Amino acid sequence: MSNTLYQEDFYAWTQQQAAKLRAGLGAGLDFENIAESAFPATNPFSLAQALDKAYWPD
Residues whose CB falls within 8 Å of the CB of residue 21, separated by 6 or more in sequence, listed in order = 29
- Asked whether 18 and 29 are in contact (CB, 8 A), the reply is no
pLDDT, greater one: 28 or 3: 28
d(CA 49, CA 54): 8
pLDDT in tens, 6-50: 889 989 999 999 999 889 888 888 888 888 777 666 666 665 666
**Predicted TM-score (pTM) of this structure:** 0.57
Per-residue confidence (pLDDT) for residue 46, from 0 to 100: 60
Residue 38, CA distances (Å) to 56, 58 in order? 17, 22
Q: In whole angstroms, what is the distance from residue 55 CA to residue 52 CA?
A: 6
Domain boundaries, the chain: 5-55
